[in-house]
């Protein structure tokens, strides 16, 4: 079971890396061409439609993961429920596109909203397949889907951007990517929906899904409400600056947090012993935090080089990225809690936690926006810090055992993170005295800080953690190589 989970995590990481590295390279090209205003407008449109992807991918179909003996009644019923929900979302977007565009004073947003609403039915067509692959910890097809979809969609988007399509290059990218995903997954899975709709199963899914879907919808609202709130207080160009910084943070979140989030439910739901469940969750959270911490700190310390990659027009994103990178110390400590709560059959607590997160985030952004874009970033980071004690207290309600081990590990990793920041400033100021340019000081300081972080973690604060992780990865690669070698023989 543990080895199967590691292999599933391996393919999930590849899936997410392909889903982030390819779009990021494409975004580097498109962002330099279209500029912050067009990107800010598209970010507002996607923020408004963003709820639907979470409803489809993590809504009712996720109830299938917890069904012990799955049959055609469960699967087809979930498929038709999701398709009906997607159709409703499509219609609602068509009705609301005009008023939303008027609210933000961006007339070009209305036709974009109408077209990207097609993402809802496209995503619904593969929602059940994705859950079935996750349930069986068979995620290789998801990785292939990601690489093909992102690559083909990216080629279309870049070509249109060079041809002067502007914001429509981003819309076409999203739609082509979704269409390719449908083609890949329907070829990879033999299952096809049947004309079966079991009312009893639909009610069971609704009972579980009402809490779980409500929590994921609210969580998605938290990830998109920031852009919507910034758009209410600030102009589209500033929204573009914020959207770039948020995109970089989101890329890190998808690479580090999402694979573990996708793994938590199918793994923890099979553990009946509370102590084993807590130990597994603590191990997952510790591993994620140890990777997340240096990655986010590197984004913050290296923010000054953003204009080199994206162009001088994006310089306004540097300071807000630095402010937002403070979530390095907090986000993994609460972002995994909802999936753990759902795994132990308490999606109601997940819903409560998600509602608190949205309220705190909205308050932080609203207050921060009164002080400008950097204030928004600081408010965003402060909201993340407030979520940590709430998540721990909520987890204790679902699994009433001591969570001190998780807190102790987090404090040790946090100390290594402080060492990373201190190493950065020390090297940065040393290079400043030597007259080095700002971008060189930033790169060298970031590299020195990361090296100090690794040394503190490996030899002082969590001895052997890094080498142990590397050994596990080597074992995984070796186990994947062995079957192919034998079959070839």
pLDDT tens digits for range 299-355: 999 888 888 888 788 888 899 999 999 999 999 889 888 888 877 778 788 888 888
Top pLDDT among 231 and 22 is at 231
Kindly state the average pLDDT of the residues 193-208: 72
**pLDDT of 328:** 93
Q: 3-class secondary structure for the chain?
A: CHHHHHHHHHHHHHHHHHHHHHHHHHHHHHHHHHHHHHHHHHHHHHHHHHHHHHHHHHCHHHHHHHCCCCCHHHHHHHHHHHHHHHHHHHHHHHHHHHHHHHHCCCCCHHHHHHHHCCHHHHHHHHHHHHHHHHHCCCCHHHHHHHHHHHHHHHHHHHHHHHCCCCHHHHHHHHHHHHHHHHHHHHHHCCCCCCCCCCHHHHHHHHHHHHHHHHHHHHHHHHHHHHHHHHHHHCCHHHHHHHHHHHHHHHHHHHHHHHHHHHHHHHHHCCCCCHHHHHHHHHHHHHHHHHHHHHHHHHHHHCHHHHHHHHCHHHCCHHHHHHHHHHHHHCCHHHHCHHHHHHHCCCHHHHHHHHHHHHHHHHHHHHHHHCCCHHHHHHHHHHHHHHHHHHHHHHHHHHCCCCCHHHHHHHHHHHHHHHHHHHHHHHHHHHHHHCCCCHHHHHHHHHHHHHHHHHHHHHHHHCCCHHHHHHHHHHHHHHHHHHHHHHHHC
Kindly state the average pLDDT of the residues 255-283: 76
**pLDDT of 354:** 84
- The 10s digit of each residue's pLDDT in 366-391 is 999 999 899 999 999 999 999 999 99
Top pLDDT among 97 and 465 is at 97
Asked whether the predicted pLDDT for residue 232 surpasses 70, the reply is: yes
209: pLDDT confidence band, cut at 50, 70 and 90? low
**pLDDT of 488:** 35
- The 10s digit of each residue's pLDDT in 14-43 is 555 555 566 677 777 887 788 788 888 888
């Amino acid at each position: 079971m543990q080895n199967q989970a590691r292999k599933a995590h391996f393919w999930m990481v590849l899936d997410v890396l392909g889903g982030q590295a390819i779009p990021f390279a494409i975004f580097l090209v498109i962002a330099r061409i279209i500029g912050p205003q067009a990107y800010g407008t598209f970010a507002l449109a996607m923020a408004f439609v963003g709820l639907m992807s979470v409803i489809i991918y993590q809504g009712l179909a996720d109830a299938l993961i917890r069904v012990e003996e799955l049959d055609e009644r469960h699967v087809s019923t979930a498929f038709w429920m999701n398709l009906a929900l997607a159709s409703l979302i499509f219609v609602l977007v068509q009705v609301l596109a005009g008023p939303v565009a008027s609210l933000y004073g961006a007339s070009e947003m209305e036709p974009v909203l109408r077209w990207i609403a097609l993402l809802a039915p496209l995503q619904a067509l593969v929602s059940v397949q994705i859950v079935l692959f996750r349930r069986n910890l068979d995620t290789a097809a998801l990785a292939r889907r990601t690489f093909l979809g992102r690559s083909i969609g990216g080629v279309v988007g870049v070509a249109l951007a060079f041809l002067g399509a502007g914001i429509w290059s981003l819309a076409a990218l999203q739609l082509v990517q979704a269409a390719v995903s449908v083609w890949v997954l329907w070829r990879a899975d033999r299952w096809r929906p049947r004309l079966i709709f079991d009312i009893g199963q639909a009610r069971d899914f609704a009972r579980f899904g009402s809490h779980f879907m409500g929590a994921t919808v609210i969580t998605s609202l938290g990830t998109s409400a920031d852009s919507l709130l910034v758009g209410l207080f600030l102009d589209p160009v500033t929204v573009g600056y914020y959207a770039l910084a948020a995109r970089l943070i989101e890329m890190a979140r998808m690479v580090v947090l999402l694979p573990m989030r996708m793994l938590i439910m199918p793994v923890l739901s099979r553990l009946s012993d509370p102590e084993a469940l807590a130990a597994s969750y603590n191990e997952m959270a510790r591993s994620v935090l140890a990777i997340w911490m240096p990655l986010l700190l590197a984004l913050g310390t290296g923010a000054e080089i953003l204009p080199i990659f994206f162009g001088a027009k994006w310089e306004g994103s540097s300071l807000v990225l630095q402010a937002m990178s403070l979530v390095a110390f907090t986000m993994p400590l609460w972002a995994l809690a909802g999936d753990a709560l759902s795994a132990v059959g308490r999606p109601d607590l997940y819903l409560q936690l998600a509602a608190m997160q949205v309220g705190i985030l909205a308050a932080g952004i609203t207050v921060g926006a009164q002080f400008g874009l950097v204030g928004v970033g600081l408010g965003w980071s402060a909201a993340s810090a407030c979520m940590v004690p709430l998540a721990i207290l909520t987890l204790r309600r679902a699994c009433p055992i001591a969570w001190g081990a998780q807190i102790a590990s987090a404090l040790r990793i946090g100390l290594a993170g402080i060492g990373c920041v201190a190493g950065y400033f020390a090297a940065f100021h040393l290079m400043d005295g030597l007259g080095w340019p700002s971008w060189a000081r930033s790169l060298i300081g970031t590299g020195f800080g990361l090296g100090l972080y690794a040394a503190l973690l490996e030899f002082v604060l969590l001895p052997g953690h890094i080498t142990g992780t590397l050994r596990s990865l080597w074992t995984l690669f070796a186990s994947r190589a062995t079957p192919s070698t034998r079959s070839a023989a």
